[in-house]
């Protein structure tokens, strides 16, 4: 008797690529570790945990709740003050780790772009059946992936410990009771800006590394220019808050510029790289 084949037979899905991860599916295709460009550059370093956006959102929500409670119970700020000592001890550690991430990731991005030109493989790279911008984005993502876990650590340090320091700063500059609602909105904006900087600035720096690499064709020149630009940017953006200016401009410098300049610089750098590649 002939076997009857069930018309609704279950089809076994094809095996998932070894580098693929369901966690990566939250990212665009060009940013996933299963992307062939990223897979090529990561090699054995592909096993790293990506940042958890939900946890970071909950962290911001917690800060917002604390700031909201302070409107009716200002004593909650006093309860947070013992954390200042922890923050003073951890912030330098976080800054050193963060600076190391910026230097290494931007230097890697510069090296990736320079090597394509030096080895005369750029034309071959651009033949990959992906949009040309996505090829560039994948190169930059490959430079950032090895630092994903350390960036998460820095984000935790900034997200949990920046509020007590900002409370002291804003109380000294403006007075927490001078305009309670406005000062607390500025506090929340400062916390959000500090947390966003952790993710926006590394993207900006790898974009600058790629730009200098494409323009110079020399690893040492590209890396040196990138590091000097990074140092100048961090000095300007952090020292500008010390200027004797009106409070509203302090808020602009501390909460608006740090989250608008990096995306703007990133877009300009990426467009310049793509223009150089199309010459």
> How much is the mean pLDDT over the chain?
83
pLDDT interval class at 8 (50, 70, 90): very low
The single residue listed with the structure tokens 């949009």 is: 131
pLDDT at 270 over 90: yes
Q: How many CB atoms lie within 10 A of CB 177?
A: 9
Q: Where are the domains of the chain?
A: 53-277
Residue 217 CB burial class (10 angstroms; 0-12, 13-18, ≥19): middle
pLDDT interval class at 127 (50, 70, 90): confident
Query: Nearest 5 degrees, angle CA 76-CA 151-CA 183?
Result: 30
Alpha carbon of 277 to those of 96, 137, 197: distances in Å?
34, 13, 29
46-92 residue pLDDT tens: 666 677 777 778 888 888 898 888 888 888 888 888 777 877 888 88
pLDDT at 185 over 90: no
192-241 residue pLDDT tens: 998 999 999 999 999 999 999 999 888 999 999 999 999 999 888 888 77
- Looking at per-residue pLDDT, the higher value among 247 and 130 belongs to 130
pLDDT at 5: 46
Answer whether 162's CB lies under 8 Å from 190's CB.
Answer: yes
pLDDT interval class at 110 (50, 70, 90): very high
């Amino acid at each position: 008797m002939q076997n009857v084949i069930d018309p609704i037979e279950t089809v076994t899905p094809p095996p998932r690529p070894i580098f693929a991860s369901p966690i990566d599916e939250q990212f665009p295709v060009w940013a996933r570790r299963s992307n062939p460009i990223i897979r090529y550059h990561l090699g054995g370093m592909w096993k790293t945990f990506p940042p958890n956006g939900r946890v970071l959102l909950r962290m911001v929500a917690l800060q917002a709740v604390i700031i909201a409670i302070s409107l009716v119970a200002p004593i909650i700020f006093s309860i947070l003050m013992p954390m200042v000592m922890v923050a003073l001890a951890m912030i330098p550690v976080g800054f050193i780790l963060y600076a190391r991430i910026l230097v290494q990731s931007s230097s890697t991005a510069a090296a990736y772009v320079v090597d394509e030109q030096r080895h005369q493989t750029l034309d071959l790279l651009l033949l990959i059946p992906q949009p040309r911008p996505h090829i560039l984005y994948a190169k930059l993502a490959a430079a950032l992936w090895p630092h994903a876990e350390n960036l998460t650590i820095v984000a935790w340090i900034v997200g949990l410990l920046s509020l007590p320091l900002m409370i002291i700063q804003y109380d000294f500059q403006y007075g927490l009771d001078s305009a309670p609602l406005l000062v607390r909105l500025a506090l929340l904006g400062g916390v959000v800006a500090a947390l966003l900087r952790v993710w926006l600035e590394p993207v900006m720096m790898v974009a600058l590394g790629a730009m200098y690499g494409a323009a110079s064709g020399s690893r040492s020149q590209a890396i040196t220019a990138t590091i000097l630009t990074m140092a100048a940017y961090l000095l300007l953006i952090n020292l500008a808050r010390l200027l004797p200016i009106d409070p509203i401009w302090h808020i602009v410098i501390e909460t608006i510029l740090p989250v608008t300049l990096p995306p703007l610089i990133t877009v300009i750098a990426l467009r310049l790289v793509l223009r150089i590649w199309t010459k």
